Amino acid sequence: MGDIAIKNISFSYEEGGKVILKDIDTRIHAGEFVCVLGQSGCGKSTLLRLIAGLESPTAGELSIDGAKVDGASLQRGVVFQDYGLFPWMTAGENIILALKQRFPERSKQELKKIAVDMLKRVGLEDSVFGKLPKELSGGMKQRCAIAQAFSIDPPVLLMDEPFGALDAVTRTRLQDLVLELWAQGEPKKTVLFVTHDVDEAMLLANRLLVLGQSPSNIIYDCVIPDEKRPTRESQFEDPEFLKMRTELIRQINKDVASHVEKTM
């Protein structure tokens, strides 16, 4: 479960308007952790919203496990940078809201137990269940958002720069948390993680996709074998990793330079 087929997808926000994505064609295999990189405005978040079913492609086909993506679905969990929590509901109520839709046959007590257990798995205390988002720090709110997404157990998890607004220490902890939750899954979830941070992408992903500037297409696609995936200790010491990192940055800079030349 979680195999994503993207066939010649193009997208613009209005008919005849600026083309954001053009002829995106790739397949994301079930269980992959894919990070999508690219300059601001290149369409990374747009691609994620298309897969989430929050937008529809202008052209091309998008399917998951052979079924056409047609609107949002509980088979796809989404974590946004702004947490996506309703401010008038407690952290626990936000999680239970999603759980009610995913497991309508279960009792309120069962759903609360799932929510509390998930909050604990992301490193939060039971008391957070009854707190409003405004009572929580940014890192705690993002942990709640991650708990909400994982609690409905979707085969596909979409994350749109979820740690971009957090301090470095909190960001590091949440990167480790997401990697741990993904690695423990059986079967592993398919994760599509949008970021503009090269080091974050190379630490998290086992595959990297780079989008060029608008109208965007995939300009670089790199698989990182499990035995070559870096750790925090090795990511700036391993010569092979540093070579891969340099090539990734070169590809991004090359694309930027080519667009600058065209506008001069």
CATH value at residue 249: 3.40.50.300
Alpha helix stretches (DSSP H) within the chain: 44-52, 91-102, 108-121, 138-151, 168-184, 198-204, 239-263
Rounded Cα distance between 169 and 163, Å, is: 11
Q: Which residue has the tokens 């407690």?
A: 90
For residues 206 and 45, is the Cβ–Cβ distance under 8 A? no
Give 191's contacts (C-beta < 8 A, 6+ positions apart).
32, 33, 34, 156, 157, 158, 159, 178, 182
Structure tokens at 223: 């698989």
User: What would you report as the CA-atom Rg of the chain, rounded to the nearest whole angstrom?
Assistant: 19
**23 found inside a domain:** no
Q: 194: domain range?
A: 4-15+32-40+51-84+154-263
For residues 222 and 252, is the Cβ–Cβ distance under 8 A? no
Torsion angles phi and psi, residue 221, rounded to 5: -140, 115
pLDDT at res. 90: 95
Among 150, 152, 159, 161, which Cα is nearest to 183's? Answer: 150
**69 found inside a domain:** yes
**120 found inside a domain:** no
Q: What is the sign, positive or negative, of the torsion defined by CA atoms of 21, 203, 186, 163?
A: negative
For residues 201 and 240, is the Cβ–Cβ distance under 8 A? no
Mean pLDDT of the chain: 89
Domains held by the chain: number: 1
For residues 27 and 6, is the Cβ–Cβ distance under 8 A? yes
The three-point CA angle 129-130-135 to 5° equals: 100
pLDDT at res. 215: 86
Per-residue pLDDT reduced to its tens digit, 167-214: 888 889 889 889 988 988 788 999 999 998 999 999 999 999 999 987
**235 found inside a domain:** yes
**122 found inside a domain:** no
Tell me what the mean pLDDT of segment 76-98 comes to: 90
Q: Which DSSP category does 136 fall into? A: S
Structure tokens at 203: 């630490």
Rounded Cα distance between 100 and 114, Å, is: 11
Rounded Cα distance between 28 and 237, Å, is: 29
Q: Is the pLDDT of residue 4 over 70?
A: yes
At 143, the amino acid letter reads R
Percentage of the chain modeled with pLDDT above 90: 51
Per-residue pLDDT reduced to its tens digit, 32-70: 999 999 888 888 999 999 999 999 999 999 999 999 999
Residue 237 CB-density burial (10 A; 0-12 exposed, 13-18 middle, 19+ buried): exposed
Q: What is the pTM of this model?
A: 0.90
Rounded Cα distance between 204 and 219, Å, is: 20
**117 found inside a domain:** no
